[in-house]
Amino acid sequence: MTGFTVNSDRVQWIGILFSIAYIAVLLVLIHRKKIKEEYSLLWLFSGVVFLIISIWSQVLFFFSFLIGIAYPPAALFLIMILAVISILIHYSMVISKMSDQIKILVQEQGLLRMELDRLRMGSDYSEKTGKSLKEKKRPAAG
Amino acid sequence: MKKLAIIPAYNEEKVINSVINEIFTFDESIDILIVNDASTDRTGEAAAESGHATVINLPCNLGIGGAVQTGFKYAAKYGYDIAFQYDGDGQHVAEEISKLMLPLERHEAEVVIGSRFCQKHNGYRSTLARRIGIKIFKIVNSLLVRQWICDNTSGFRAYNKRAIHFLAKNYPGDYPEPEAIILLGRNGFRMVEVFTRMRERTEGDSSITAFRAMYYMVKVLLAIFMCALRPRLEEE
């Protein structure tokens, strides 16, 4: 053994295997309801893109030629970074929507609990005569 | 005329009672709503013990905007004609409420802002950084709503019924005051600013600490520009 030579066949097979494993893990997670379908689509899409690139490396070469990247593996990094960024932006959208929904829920819960307490005060007051529960002089609205 | 004072409170157990009593002594016909924004102290209990206020205890901290909006939702739900926004830290003066009320009663405005800066020598001091921030908001907001608003960060305001219903649906989250002015101005609400006296803060810190000042400026300016770019919101 005098040295290592790059075996492009080997890297292609590894790429295909990793892409398939990646897609399989995603599908298992969706199947077990660990990820909702709507939040897995971007991941799955990126997995399919990686699989295509591993099978037909010409796609990557053509893509790098199109946008003027001299070294095709650099285009691969670009694709991966774009995929991750788009997924993260999607997450920011999801988080924003959720925090809006949480805000509305918290406000509604606060209002409802206050109204429930007010109702209870009204009905329980006569029973709890021993307690020094001060009846509100002015229930603010009725 | 049903009137409501909306008081957002976060960890104000020491002063909340005097705030409530001050408003109650000033005018018994004003209903008082304390929105306890998940305080870690006994703010909620202290407010309830006063016996003069309705207390909403939020289950988790929403920030000032979310707390105040809870008050607008309450006011809208129970048909109030006028709502005041009033700080829970004791820096507002109850007597000044009448100044806020006047333009609403005369139908001269739908939103009245109690301002610290409309006159000189008003006894209110603040830090340099805060004054610079306030100046920037003043210029930006005045350009965007084409109305000269001196004190965009004041949390002492009064709203009529239409404004209450609008804000119950649309109100910004954290640091809402400057953004709310744009929102109201862009949606055709008539605003007026009146000079009101204010006290130095007695207890508790400003919601704006030095560390967050930059974040605050950038976030609010972005929100203001975005708000200005959006079309008018639909009303029912």
Task: Tell me the three state secondary structure of residue A108.
Answer: helix
In this prediction, residue A25 carries a pLDDT of: 96
C-alpha dist (Å) from residue B101 to B4, B104, B114, B178: 12, 5, 10, 21
Chain B (119-138) residues lying within 8 Å, Cβ to Cβ, of chain A: none
Q: Is residue A71 in a domain?
A: yes
Contact criterion met (CB < 8 Å) for A114 and B55: yes
Domains of chain B: 3-229 (3.90.550.10)
Confidence category of residue B166, pLDDT binned at 50, 70, 90: very high
The answer to whether residue A47 is domain-embedded is: yes
Choice between A130 and B110, residue whose per-residue pLDDT is larger: B110
Token readout for A1 is: 């053994």
Residue A57, pLDDT score: 86
Inside any domain, residue A40? yes
Q: Determine contact: B5 vs chain A, CB below 8 A.
A: no
Residue of B nearest to A140 (CA): B31
Report, as an integer, the average pLDDT of B151-161: 91
Residue A142 is predicted with a pLDDT of 40
Looking at residue B201, what is its pLDDT?
Answer: 62
Q: Are strands B82-85 and B157-159 parallel, antiparallel or unpaired?
A: antiparallel
- For B3, name the nearest residue in chain A, comparing CA atoms only: A140
Mutate to test the interface with A, among B30, B45, B60, B80 (most CBs of A within 10 A): B60
Which of A99, A107, A111, A133 would you mutate first to test chain B, the one with the most B CBs within 10 A? A107
Of B4, B55, B59, the CB nearest to A109: B59
Please tell me which residue of chain B has the smallest CA distance to A96.
B173
Residue A24 counted as domain residue: yes
Q: Which of B158, B12, B202 is nearest to B88 (CA)?
A: B12
pLDDT tens, position by position, B101-110: 999 999 999 9
Q: Do residue A141 and residue B52 have CB atoms under 8 angstroms apart?
A: no
Structurally, how many domains does chain A consist of? 1
Q: Which helix (H) or strand (E) holds B159?
A: strand B157-159
Confidence of residue B124 (pLDDT cuts 50, 70, 90): low
Provide the 3-class DSSP secondary structure of residue B124. coil
pLDDT score, position A133: 43
Provide ipTM, 2 decimals: 0.84
Say how far residue A13 (Cα) sits from the centre of its chain. 30
Domain membership flag for residue A55:
yes
How are the residues of chain A apportioned to helix, strand and coil, as percentages rounded to the nearest 5?
A: 75, 0, 25
Whether A118 is covered by a domain: the verdict is yes
Nearest CA in chain A to B70: A107
DSSP-derived 3-state class of residue B59: coil
CB contact under 8 A, B59 and A139: no
Confidence band of A134 (pLDDT split at 50, 70, 90)? very low
Pick from A106, A110, A136: which is nearest to B51 by CB?
A136
Q: Look at B56 and A110 and tell me if their CB atoms are within 8 Å.
A: yes
Residue type, position B85, single letter: Q
* Residue A136 within any structural domain of the chain: no
* Domain membership flag for residue A139: no
pLDDT at A123 over 60: yes
Collapsing DSSP states into helix, strand and coil, what is residue A45?
Answer: helix
Tokens at residue A135, please?
Answer: 């009846």
B31/chain A closest Cα distance in angstroms: 5
Query: Residues for chain B: how many in total?
Result: 236
Residue B224 near chain A (CB below 8 Å)? no
What mean pLDDT is predicted for residues B4-29? Answer: 94
pLDDT of residue B39: 95
Give residue-wise pLDDT tens across range B66-114: 999 999 999 999 999 999 999 988 889 999 999 999 999 999 999 999 9
C-beta separation of A112 from A105 below 8 A: no
**What mean pLDDT value characterizes chain B?**
86
Distance from CA of A58 to the nearest CA of B (A): 44
Is B60 in the A-facing interface, judged by CB distances under 8 Å? yes
